[in-house]
Amino acid sequence: MPQIELIATAAFGIEAVVARELTALGLTDHTVENGRVIVRCDLDAIPQANLWLRSADRVLLKIGSFKAVTFDELFEKTKALPWADWLPRDANFPVTGKSVKSQLHSVPDCQAIVKKAVVESLRRQYKCAWFEETGPLYRIEVALLKDEVTLTIDTSGSGLHRRGYRPLVGAAPLRETLAAAMIMLSYWNKDRALLDPLCGTGTIPIEAAMIGANMAPGLRRRFAAETWPILPQQLWQNARAQAQESIGDLKDLRIFGSDIDGEALGLARHHAELAGVSEAVRFQKLPVAEVRSRFKYGCVICNPPYGERIGDRKSAGAIYQDMKDAFARLDSWSFYILTSHPNFERVFDQKATRRRKLYNGRIEVTYYQFIGPKPPATVPHLAP
């Protein structure tokens, strides 16, 4: 089969992180666009991308794209695409859709027309009038943007943030994909200490441990494309075996999480166990005002309350004041803080070195980065 095109979807603001991840996988022929990265690759990239991408939302297989301003155009151009190359006779192929700034703005109508066109295309190939759809799942999406239609099949199934280690969540959970992006946008590496002093159910420390140990985030879950006949099981087995062999040592990682919520910390420890990183992460019940560290250099990465989904702006401001006082004791550390609070820098009483607009779900947030001094080439682990 010739090269394919995959679309790694991403939250706005972290497309460049996804592109870096693809490059690290050897998938260098890619184009970065708003909310997605398009990569031209071979078939074996489907297992690799699904297993290894930490900050992407999904991996979609692009079947085709074209302009359409009438339903007839949408039907005929969809029917002309090579659906039988991918969908077996018993394929289960529901159609989802979205339309932005397009003349074909009725999403239900677009979905119905695409479904009918795919059926007609498959009828020509399989010479049958009815498809029972009892086989593997091929979730088709029709996406219209300014009259440009893109048709894809979802290779991931559940979103890539569902790593398999977090069946239980607390209030206002941070998605694993965003937590991983926050870490990869920081200067943290496995040789430095990392602290999340408002860790909740532990997502940031757990994602950091997985990154530090080079643990593929998708190793503990399954993907829709694993059931596709066109993808040999040997591809998936090889990719999983290589990912398993790539896992590094956990015991030397210095990753810490603290919180005042004992119930959330119980979930955090349970999640770390399920993720296979419990020996790398230490959790402690502690108010943020009492945070200290014996390490001279390190990174604080956290997602404190915004005063939107939990509490109010006043209580969030009090937490930021406690953070300011506690972090003053970590004067050679770097701080990375995600919040939507409009006056964060004023309350924190410090101007960020860098700011990056991101989205936590539907909430527009800013990732404030306060870069501390660079550690010496040979730095002692502990402060004098």
Q: In this predicted model, what pLDDT tens digit does every residue of 245-295 receive, in sequence order?
A: 999 999 999 999 999 999 999 999 999 999 999 999 999 999 999 999 999
Top mean pLDDT of 171-175, 261-265, 310-314 is at: 261-265
What percent of the chain has a predicted confidence (pLDDT) above 90? 88
For 256, the enclosing helix (H) or strand (E) is strand 255-259
- Residues 6+ positions from 176 with CB-CB distance below 8 Å: 54, 161, 162, 163, 166, 203, 207, 217
pLDDT reported for residue 241: 97
Cβ contact 58:9 at 8 Å: yes
The domain defined by 4-154 carries CATH number 3.30.1330.10: no
Q: Which residues contact 173 (CB under 8 A, 6 or more apart)?
A: 166, 200, 201, 203
**Tens of pLDDT, residues 17-71:** 999 999 999 999 999 999 999 999 999 999 999 999 999 999 999 999 999 999 9
| pLDDT tens digits for range 179-195 | 999 999 999 999 999 99
Mean pLDDT within 92-101: 97
Residue with the bigger pLDDT between 341 and 196: it is 196
Domains 4-154 and 176-213+250-370 alike in fold: no
The number of residues making up the chain comes to 384
**Tell me, what's the pLDDT at 80?**
98
Residue 173 in this model has a pLDDT that exceeds 80: no
Q: Whole-angstrom Cα distance, residue 140 to residue 94?
A: 6
CATH T-level fold of 176-213+250-370: Rossmann fold (3.40.50)
Q: pLDDT value at position 384?
A: 34
Q: Where are the domains of the chain?
A: 4-154, 176-213+250-370
Identity of the residue numbered 360:
N
pLDDT tens digit string along 112-166? Answer: 999 999 999 999 999 998 899 999 999 999 999 999 999 999 999 999 999 999 8
For residue 312, pLDDT beyond 80? no
Position 382 scores a pLDDT of: 46
